[in-house]
Amino acid sequence: MARIASIMVDRDNAVSRSGLGCVMGSKKLKAVAVHGSKPIRLHNKYKFYELAVAAHKKMLSHRFAGDVIRYGTTILVDLMNKIARYPTRNFQSGYFEKYEKLSAEVLRERYRVGEVACFGCPYHCKKRHMVRSGKYACDGGHGLEYETLDAYGGRIGNDDIEAIIYANQLTNRLGMDTDNVGGVIGFMTELFEKGIIDEKFTGGIKFRWGDPELLVKMIRMIAYKEGIGKLLAEGTHRVAQKIGGEALKYDMTVKGVDIPAQDGRAQKSMGLSHAVANRGADHLTSAEFLSEVGWPDAIIERFDNLAKKIYGRSIMPEGADRLDPKFKPLMVVESENFAAVADSLVVCKFSTHWPPALYYPDIAKALTYATGISFNEEDVRRIGERIYILERCYNLREGYSSRDDRLPERFLKEPAPAGPCKGHVVELDEMLREYYRLRGYDENGYPSYEKLKSLDLLEAAKELNITQ
C-alpha cells in the first residue's frame, strides 16, 4: 500500500493530503457507502431558502464569479505565473516559462467536454477534459484542477498537457494524491540533476525535467510498488530521510506532507500557512485571500473592527500586499478559523474563500434557520477557533510541537529568482512569533491554560498536562 494513497469519492474526487487512503487501508477499511432515506428537516425552511437564494446572488455577483464558472481552478495557472507563485522544478522558481501551454484557455478550447457540479452549486467549477486521440487518449474523469496542473506540470518541468490529463485520471484510478506523486518525482529529478543520486540508485531510471513518459511510468511503478516505485510510495519526506545528507535540503515538505502548488515567497501568508497548518503543508487549512484576490469592502470593514481591537489601527493597506509580512499572522488565524467552520459545515472553499462571497453573518443565520438554535457571528467565530485549537492539541498529543512548524530551507534562504517577488524569502520566524502570540501558544507551540479554558477545552489541557 502506498503511503500517499487518497480516499476516492465518486471515482474522480480525492480526499488526498496526508495519506488518509493509506490509513483506511491499514485498518482494512475498503469503502464507506452512504445511502440516506429520510428527508432533511430544517427548523425554518422558508427563511433558510430565502438565505440560500441571497447567497447564490452574492456568489454570482462577485467579480471573480465569471472566472470560476468559466475556468474553475485552471485559471490559476495564468494568474499564479504572473505573480511567480507557481512552483516550478521542485520549487526552484515560481515561474514556469512554458505555462501558456497549460493555460485555462488552452484547456477550455481544446479539451473541455463538459462540466460537473456539486448539488445545487451555481459555480460548477469542475471542467471535464478529454483527450480524443493519440497515446494519451482518455475521457479525463472530472478533469484537471490547478493543483495537478502544477504537480504534473511546472513542478516537474512538464508542458505536455495531454500527458497531464491522462496522468491525472490514471492517478485517480489508482487512488493516489497527485500533489504527493508530482512532489516526489520533482524531488528525485532535482537530486538527479544535482548528482546526489544516479541510475544505480534508481534502478536504471533517468529522472529528467519535462519527461511525460517518465511521469506516466512512475505513477504505475509507485502504485504497484515496482522497482524504485516501492521507495517513492513512501512519499517525499521518507525518501529524503532515507537518502539523507544533501538530499534533505530539497525535501519540500512540512510535517511530512508535500507542499502544494504555492510558492510562499510570492505570498507571505501562504508561507506561514504551510508552516503551521495542522494537517501538514496545506493551502486549504488557511486560505488567506485578502492578499490574493482581495475581499469585498464589507468583509474588510468587519475584519478591521477585530484588527483595530488588537493593533489599534486598520490592517490596510499592508494587509492586501502579498509580499509584506505585516498583519499576515492575524489574517492566517482568521482564515484558519473560518476554514474550520466551512469544513465542518461541509461548505465549499469557493464562496467562503475564493471568491469570498459569504462570511460569518451568513453562516450564523444559516445555522440558526437550520437548527432553531440562535447563533451570532461571535458564536461561530468561537466554534472555528475551538476546532482549530482542538486539532492542534491532537497533534501535540501525538508528539508534534513548534519544531514542526517549519518550512524547507529553500523558502527561508534562497531568494525567489523571478517575477514580482524576485529577491524575496519567507520571513517565517518574524511571522511565527506573532502567530503564536495571537493563537495564545507558548514558545513550544502549546496553547496556554487560559486559552483552552476560554474555549471550554480543559479536557485537552488535562491530557497535555497544561496547567495554570
Q: By the 8 A CB rule, do 435 and 428 touch?
A: no
**Nearest 5°: CA angle at 76, between 70 and 80?**
150
CB of 171 to ligand SF4, least distance (A): 19
Window contacting ligand SF4 (CB under 6 A); options: 118-126, 174-182, 359-367, 408-416: 118-126
Among 121, 196, 320, 418, binds ligand SF4 (CB under 6 A): 121
Q: Is 192 among the residues that bind ligand SF4 (CB under 6 A)?
A: no
Among 71, 95, 111, 350, binds ligand SF4 (CB under 6 A): 350
User: What is the distance between the alpha carbons of residues 385 and 372, in angstroms, rounded to a whole number?
Assistant: 22
Number of residues that bind ligand SF4 (CB under 6 A): 9
Pairing of strands 126-129, 112-116: antiparallel
Q: Which is nearer to ligand SF4, 122 or 210 (CB)?
A: 122
Q: Which is nearer to ligand SF4, 121 or 306 (CB)?
A: 121
Q: Which is nearer to ligand SF4, 10 or 109 (CB)?
A: 10
Q: Is 249 among the residues that bind ligand SF4 (CB under 6 A)?
A: no
- Phi/psi at 251 (nearest 5 deg)? -80, 95
Q: By the 8 A CB rule, do 151 and 182 touch?
A: yes
Q: Is 137 among the residues that bind ligand SF4 (CB under 6 A)?
A: no
Q: Which three cell numbers stand for residue 198?
A: 544516479
- Phi/psi at 131 (nearest 5 deg)? -105, 115
Q: Is 348 among the residues that bind ligand SF4 (CB under 6 A)?
A: yes
Total Cβ atoms within 10 A of residue 213: 10
CA distances from 208 to 124, 151, 327 (A): 36, 15, 40
Window contacting ligand SF4 (CB under 6 A); options: 114-122, 281-289, 358-366, 392-400: 114-122
Residue 413: burial class (beta carbons within 10 Å; 0-12, 13-18, 19+): exposed
Among 29, 53, 118, 458, binds ligand SF4 (CB under 6 A): 118
Q: Is 117 among the residues that bind ligand SF4 (CB under 6 A)?
A: yes
Q: Is 388 among the residues that bind ligand SF4 (CB under 6 A)?
A: no
Question: What's at 158, amino acid-wise?
Answer: N
Q: Which is nearer to ligand SF4, 65 or 185 (CB)?
A: 65
User: What is the distance between the alpha carbons of residues 89 and 252, in angstroms, rounded to a whole number?
Assistant: 11
User: What is the distance between the alpha carbons of residues 110 and 104, in angstroms, rounded to a whole number?
Assistant: 10
Q: Is 418 among the residues that bind ligand SF4 (CB under 6 A)?
A: no
Window contacting ligand SF4 (CB under 6 A); options: 42-50, 122-130, 248-256, 449-457: 122-130
Window contacting ligand SF4 (CB under 6 A); options: 4-12, 15-23, 123-131, 372-380: 123-131
CB of 2 to ligand SF4, least distance (A): 25
Match 511567480 to its residue by C-alpha cell: 84
Total Cβ atoms within 10 A of residue 466: 21
Q: By the 8 A CB rule, do 212 and 40 touch?
A: no
Window contacting ligand SF4 (CB under 6 A); options: 113-121, 224-232, 312-320, 454-462: 113-121
Window contacting ligand SF4 (CB under 6 A); options: 40-48, 120-128, 200-208, 215-223: 120-128
Q: Which is nearer to ligand SF4, 65 or 191 (CB)?
A: 65
CA distances from 29 to 2, 33, 174, 186, 266 (A): 15, 11, 16, 31, 40
Q: Which is nearer to ligand SF4, 53 or 117 (CB)?
A: 117
Among 62, 85, 112, 126, binds ligand SF4 (CB under 6 A): 126
Q: Which three cell numbers stand for residue 184?
A: 516526489
Q: Which is nearer to ligand SF4, 172 or 189 (CB)?
A: 172
CB of 116 to ligand SF4, least distance (A): 7
Alpha helices by DSSP H, listed for 88-152, are 104-106, 146-151
CB of 160 to ligand SF4, least distance (A): 26
Q: Is 123 among the residues that bind ligand SF4 (CB under 6 A)?
A: yes
Residue 30: burial class (beta carbons within 10 Å; 0-12, 13-18, 19+): exposed
User: Sign of the CA dihedral 362, 322, 254, 206?
Assistant: positive
Among 125, 181, 331, 340, binds ligand SF4 (CB under 6 A): 125
Q: Is 124 among the residues that bind ligand SF4 (CB under 6 A)?
A: yes
- Footprint of ligand SF4 on this chain (CB under 6 A)? 117-118, 121, 123-126, 348, 350
